[in-house]
Amino acid sequence: MSNSHHGKSNVEKELGDEELDPFEKVDEIREESNEGYDSFMVISPERLATIILFFYVVCLHQKRVSSVNISKKFTMTNITDCTEDTYLFVNEIQVIYGKHEVTPIEIIHTLGLDALLLTKYEFNVLVANFIQRYSSRSYFNIPEGVKNLIFNLTGGHPGLCRFILTLLRIKFREGIQNKSSAVILQYLASPQLRNGITSSSCAFYWINNWNPSHDEAEFVRLMLLKSHCETPSIIDYDSNPVAKKFLKHPTTTFEEFLEKSIHRMSPSKLSESFGRGDKCNSLYERSWQMEWYCAFTIVVPANESISADVGPLFSSTGFLDFYVNGDCCWRIELIREGRHLKEHAKRFENGGIYDKIPLKHWVIIDFRHHSKSVREKKPNFWYALYDDNYKQITIIRERHNDKVIILYGDE
């Protein structure tokens, strides 16, 4: 760890023990020096104590340590003569070995990932340092909701935190003070960011040059298609049920996506499912969710992805059933037999538990038996009345004619 020293940083001194405000005025932060010091690097007193305890008490079986912060300006004589209570961090060992291979050394005592992840306080200091560094050149800042999402998304991983902050600065180089948090949150939930991380982050460098062996390629192919065909380059779509189930048919609009996802559901799986009540014999909500999930993964828009149980990542206290991210920002909730309609609708209102999740369109799909009529049609509700054999579903909507959808997921 470079640029580590005994005592608090300029940011920490100004903040004291209170929660960090990233827009607090802090001292000017210099760029990385020739010695390799990282001006954005942060370390809390608690982490410092943990590292010292580990290396000197656990590894070296010593109870007390006296050391010094070392750079090119210090000699071993200076270190030996030092009488102050300081800490020693040895960094840039690779300078000794360069790029040449060396004999592997077994490291017995190591710190786990938990000891390396940033705490929320350290992350806030990092964000404040980052904003201070670039705010003089542009209108760059990080809204509070975006800051929380980055921390939740990365888990405090130092490299990913820095990587995402850098991508945000590049993406919004003209300034984001006039941008809504929703625009930034959409980018953080987009495939573009995910692809950028997997293609550029050191954690995923192996993917770029990965040359899978025959066995590895066969394993991946079997897991994706569950097919034992020896000619994976040619798929007979019409006669191959596996191809029909796994090959995608991407949609472009919200309504098309909903209709085709229902269209792809399997009547046999619904009718044969044991996930139902013993008295009313109606399927549980989870049964509908599982079958619908299998169906909509085939018709999800190109270059977009869909996630289940979305909420905490956006600092929401609720768990949205399904969310299509990227440029779509579609919220989808499923219920059954008309239960808790008002409760679910309130979740989507301004100030509701889903309010912080970026939104362009939302819907609540109510799967109910055809014998249960719809008394009052509500906006953003799709009432899906299924037949006894689940082979067709009638969609009832406000200001729309009823529409019958045939389920052909078994074909």
294 and 383 inside one domain: yes
- The answer, yes or no, to whether residue 76 has pLDDT greater than 80, is no
Q: Is the pLDDT of residue 102 over 80?
A: no
Kindly state whether residues 124 and 27 are assigned to the same domain.
yes
- Mean pLDDT, to the nearest integer, of 245-267? 80
For residues 56 and 143, membership in a common domain is answered with yes
Residue 82 belongs to a domain = yes
Same domain? 190 vs 253: no
Instruction: Kindly state whether residues 312 and 184 are assigned to the same domain.
Output: no
Same domain, residue pair 122 and 253 = no
Collapsing DSSP states into helix, strand and coil, what is residue 104?
coil
CA–CA distance, 148 with 180 (Å, rounded to integer): 15
- The answer to whether residues 317 and 378 belong to one domain is yes
SS3 145: helix
Task: For the chain, report the end-to-end CA distance as a whole number of angstroms.
Answer: 59
CB 164, CB 150: distance < 8 Å? yes
Say what the pLDDT of residue 54 is.
66
Please say which residue of 205, 223, 239 terminates a domain: 205
In a domain, residue 4? The reply is: no
| Bigger pLDDT: 63 vs 366 | 366
35 plus 158 within the same structural domain:
yes
Residue 232, in any domain of the structure: no
* Greatest mean pLDDT range, 34-43, 102-111, 356-365: 356-365
Do 174 and 302 share a domain, yes or no? no
pLDDT higher than 50, residue 184: yes
Q: Tens digit of pLDDT for each residue in 119-135?
A: 898 899 888 888 888 76
How many domains would you assign to the chain? Answer: 2
For residue 115, the 8-state DSSP code is G
pTM of the model: 0.49
Which residues pair with residue 324 across a beta bridge?
306, 330
The answer as to whether 238 is a domain residue is: no
What is the domain extent for residue 254?
248-406
| Boundary (domain end) residue, out of 205, 234, 268 | 205
**Helices 120-134 and 144-154 meet at what angle, rounded to 10?**
120
The predicted pLDDT at position 306 comes to 86
Q: Residues 183, 330: one domain?
A: no
Residue 90, token pair as written in the block = 């040895």
What is the rounded average pLDDT of the residues 86-112?
56
3-state class (DSSP) for residue 237: coil
